[in-house]
Structure 1
Amino acid sequence: MPASPNAPLPVQQRAWETRERILAAAVACLAEDGYAAATTARIQGRSGVSRGSLLHQFPSREHLLVAAVQHLAAARTATLDAPPFARGDVDASIDALWNSHHGTLFAATVELWVAAKNHPDLAAALAPRERELGRAIRAAVAEMFGPDLAGRPWFGDFVSVLLTSLRGAALTYTFEARDRSADPLLGVWKRLVRLYLASDEGEAGATAGPPGRRSRASQS
């Protein structure tokens, strides 16, 4: 017989939903209140679960925030896994990457980055997750840009520089709110993709090697 609409949820489903509520509350507290204020009491109040339920899922604040790191990594990657545009669309790809560096998930992640400097246990949990996330993001970028661009020489180096630039620019928005869609760097990043990846000139320059490695004769 089908379950009644008013029947209680199975124990495993209830536990999963409780865990998701706690993690979502932890992310929101990190983003809005900062690491120091993201206490278990505040997270408990925001999630609406009992103290016993929270402690059953996460015995300590450290356990909870480590799990939030994992939750963040999965959520941030998911925003790039299935973009609503065609592969090879450079402008849409850059826009999607730029937007992924804003909002609650990025703000919470920044809080963890900063806190990890003075919390070795948090740093130990964060570092491998960030490396894993970096690999996933690079794979997503290659998928978004399409095989033609992803197959160009120096694609990996270019993506590393691009992501570093995106992250650095996004950090300035944490203390100065403004319209990110009007950021002048958006146009710069899009032009750079075309210059170094989508043009014959860029491929020729990449094949010749980095400027710092040119011979003295080529510089004369």
Structure 2
Amino acid sequence: MTQPPTATLPVQQRAWDTRLLILEAAVACLAEEGYAAATISRVQGRSGVSRGSILHQFPSRDDLLIAAVQHLATARTADLDGQPERTVGDVDASIEALWETLHGPLFAATLELWVAAKNSPALAAALAPPEHDLGRVIRAAIADMFGPDLAAHERFADLTSLLLTSMRGVALTYTFEPRDHRLDPNLEVWKRLARAYLA
């Protein structure tokens, strides 16, 4: 006799919970210890999940690490999506919220993969398509954050590209010179620039 669909839900939920444990452990490894140290064994130790369970979902180390960064990127994009209530139409608040997304485990973990991809054609090939997809999602989230009126400005796309590249460049310096990013003098420059662009 076939069991009703609801009987499988606990198993599905456990599988999903296990996947989240694995991905969060992988992100922590990347962000805190770097790409070289983010091995299947290290992720297994952090997550408490068996090696077999990890390899069942992620056949290779790079598959796991890319999925981990995408997982956290999705979470950070969701954070961006939640910003409009307090940032729509407010250029300064939008700039601050965007800058905030470049500090924490997502940027650190993503940076580790970007650098590793330079010397790994297979990793670069696997990483490029999801990075391009994520870039589109992030730009859409930024437009939502600024609000429809500002996002409709003819120079908004140029401003978004300029802000993202500039902020990423400055955020890189925090990897070797930790400090309070909320006090970065570039914040005021970005705000003035954005206000001028969208005037």
TM-score by length of 2: 0.90
Identity %: 72
Aligned match of 2:195: 194
Q: Quick one: distance in 1 between partners of 2:138 and 2:66?
A: 20
Contact 1:94 1:186 in 2 (8 A): yes
Aligned match of 2:58: 58
Structure 1 residues 187-211: Cα deviation after superposition (integer angstroms, max 9, x where no partner): 01111111111x2xxxxxxxxxxxx
Q: Which amino acid is the alignment partner of residue 187 of structure 1?
A: E
Q: Quick one: distance in 2 between partners of 1:62 and 1:142?
A: 31
Structure 1 residues 74-121: Cα deviation after superposition (integer angstroms, max 9, x where no partner): 123222111150411111111110000010111000001101111112
Q: Quick one: distance in 1 between partners of 2:55 and 2:153?
A: 50
- Aligned ranges for residues 54-93 of structure 1 at < 5 Å? 54-83=54-83, 84-93=85-94
Q: Quick one: distance in 2 between partners of 1:64 and 1:133?
A: 17
Contact 2:62 2:123 in 1 (8 A): yes
Q: Which amino acid is the alignment partner of residue 12 of structure 1?
A: Q
Q: Which amino acid is the alignment partner of residue 19 of structure 1?
A: R
**Does 2:159 align with 1:158?**
yes
- Aligned ranges for residues 30-41 of structure 1 at < 5 Å? 30-41=30-41
Structure 1 residues 134-161: Cα deviation after superposition (integer angstroms, max 9, x where no partner): 1111111211212222122221112111
Aligned match of 1:202: none
Aligned-pair RMSD on alpha carbons? 1.4
- Aligned ranges for residues 176-191 of structure 1 at < 5 Å? 176-191=177-192
Query: Which stretches in structure 1 are left out of the alignment for 5+ residues?
Result: 1-8, 200-220
Higher helix share: 2
Q: Which amino acid is the alignment partner of residue 148 of structure 1?
A: D
Dislocated runs of 4+, deviation >6 Å: none
Q: Tell me which structure has the larger Cα radius of gyration.
A: 1
Deviation, 1:61, is: 1.3
Aligned match of 1:168: 169
Query: Which stretches in structure 2 are left out of the alignment for 5+ residues?
Result: 1-8
Structure 1 residues 45-99: Cα deviation after superposition (integer angstroms, max 9, x where no partner): 0001122222222232132123223313312322211115041111111111000
Q: Which has the higher contact order (CA 8 A, sep 6+)?
A: 2
Cα gap change, 1:86 to 1:103, in 2 (>3 Å) = closer
- Aligned ranges for residues 1-220 of structure 1 at < 5 Å? 10-83=10-83, 84-197=85-198, 199=199
Q: Quick one: distance in 1 between partners of 2:90 and 2:187?
A: 14
Question: How many positions carry a matched residue from both structures?
Answer: 190
Deviation, 1:128, is: 1.3
Q: Quick one: distance in 2 between partners of 1:69 and 1:119?
A: 17
Q: Quick one: distance in 2 between partners of 1:123 and 1:86?
A: 35
Q: Which amino acid is the alignment partner of residue 127 of structure 2?
A: L
